[in-house]
Structure 1
Amino acid sequence: MRPTLTEDVITLRSPLLARMSDDEFFEFCQQHPELRIERTAEREIMIMSPTGSRSGKRNARLNGQLYIWFHANPALGEVFDSNTGFTLPDGSVLSPDASWVSATKWNALTTAQQDKFAPVCPEFVVELRSATDSLRTLQAKMLDWLRNGAQLAWLLDPDTETTYLYRPGQPEPEIVQGFDNTLSGEAVLPGFRLELRELR
């Protein structure tokens, strides 16, 4: 096993980890609830420490706004927080900071699938950059979300007050400067508006 450390992420690689089944990976994560763990399509395991308090505050406000929209539109689908892992079509297991899955996709899963890292890609995902996150790494992750089926993906950078909007079929993200703006959920989340100023 050859661990590497970049920013606040430890990456583990080994033939043994590459052979780990989805159920074994899920159990590995349950044994370490204090950590945030993801798996790449190459079967590398990424171990991240809990977020700092300021990032946690921002994430709570982000998810709070999304939940208010969900509460008014419960029949459309389900919302998820940053502790939720999804098994994507490329075999990776990722945990966005906030996400939404349509009722059609969610209800097609069995209860057993819903109880683990559901084999589904959310239609909507948000990644919230913390002070120690690599922007380049997060931008690559947004493209992974799109390749796996996300229809709208937001990368929010509160420190520079920059938003990157990713959509399928667009070679580059739309960039919005300033957190005095309001983001629209567009056709994916009809009626959802995110007040960016709350994430300062």
Structure 2
Amino acid sequence: MATVLDLQPIVSLDRGQFYQLCQNNPDLILERDPEGKLIIMSPVGGESGAQEASLIFKVSLWNHQNQLGIVFSSSTIFSLPQGGDRSPDVAWISRNNWEKLAPAEREGFPPICPDFVIELRSKSDRLKPLQDKMLEYLKSGLQLGWLINRQQKQVETYRQNQPMEIINFPVKLSGEDFLPGFSLSLD
């Protein structure tokens, strides 16, 4: 379960200060929402960690075969155009969009929204903050996103300019036009 700290009455962290806070506290998993609230993420358990690793592997294998972009782990924080600094469980950026960034931008928290993300709801995660995070990605330029909700055996699919779609397990998800040929089966 994430802990949210509202520092606004005391201090407002800009992107540079947030980056420095993360560098000074490498053992903490931190995010920052668009309002500047600091989010301290809990580590995940074995089941969630294994499932997250499997998802990263599957997207990475597809990407290795197709060479269309770059895959990122949940340790990567993206400075989103809408103001938040977020780390999805799995992220992918097209090679074309990644190459638009300067080398210095690629080195820190990249100032870009991934084209594709997967968020995996763990047992300790509340659903509403994850749904808000997915909407934040959409507002920042996300093309396709999946919120995998194992507790309710559902996937919420997010696409630009379309309503969110809920799909029940079992399901075979398609990467559509954004990740051509990629599919993911969930039982």
TM surpasses 0.5: yes
**Helix, strand or coil for the counterpart of 1:33?**
coil
For 2:59 and 2:151, locate their aligned partners in 1 and report how far apart those are by CA, in whole Å. Answer: 21
1:142 to 134, 145, 148: 134
The TM-score with structure 1 as length reference comes to 0.88
Percent identity over the alignment is 42
Does the 8 Å contact 2:28/2:40 carry over to 1?
yes
Does the 8 Å contact 1:183/1:194 carry over to 2?
yes
| Per-residue deviation, 1:14 | 2.3
| Per-residue deviation, 1:46 | 0.4
* Partner residue, 1:186: 176
| Per-residue deviation, 1:146 | 0.6
| Per-residue deviation, 1:23 | 2.3
2:26 to 33, 36, 50: 33
For 1:108 and 1:101, locate their aligned partners in 2 and report how far apart those are by CA, in whole Å. Answer: 11
Does the 8 Å contact 2:88/2:118 carry over to 1?
yes
The TM-score with structure 2 as length reference comes to 0.94
In the alignment of these two chains, the number of paired residues is 186
Does the 8 Å contact 1:129/1:155 carry over to 2?
yes
What do residues 135-159 of structure 1 show as CA deviations (whole Å, max 9, x unaligned)? 1111111111111100101000123
What do residues 10-33 of structure 1 show as CA deviations (whole Å, max 9, x unaligned)? 222224541x33222112112222
For 1:60 and 1:28, locate their aligned partners in 2 and report how far apart those are by CA, in whole Å. Answer: 26
User: Which ranges in structure 2 are unaligned for 5 or more consecutive residues?
Assistant: none
1:24 aligns with 2:13: no
Amino acid at match of 1:186: E
Structure 1 stretches of 4+ with a deviation exceeding 3 A read: none
Does the 8 Å contact 1:127/1:155 carry over to 2?
yes
2:111 to 100, 119, 123: 119
Does the 8 Å contact 1:17/1:44 carry over to 2?
no
Map 1:7-18 → 2, pairs under 5 A: 8-15=1-8, 16-18=10-12
Does the 8 Å contact 1:17/1:43 carry over to 2?
no
* Partner residue, 1:177: 168
